[in-house]
Amino acid sequence: MIRKFVSNLNTITHLSIHKNGENILAGTKDGKVAWFQLDLSDKPYKIMEFHDDKIRSVAYHNNYPLMSSSSRNGKILIYHSTVYDDLIQDPLIVPLKVLKQSDSGKLYYINYLVVNSVVFHPKHPWVFSSGEDGLIRLWV
Query: pTM for the complete prediction?
Result: 0.84
Domain count, the chain: 1
Residue 22, domain extent: 12-135
* pLDDT tens for each residue of 4-14: 888 788 889 89
**pLDDT tens, position by position, 87-123:** 778 889 999 999 886 655 554 444 557 888 999 999 9
Whether residue 57 lies inside any domain: the answer is: yes
Asked whether residue 48 is domain-assigned, the answer is: yes
Residues 6+ apart with CB under 8 A from 136: 128, 129, 130
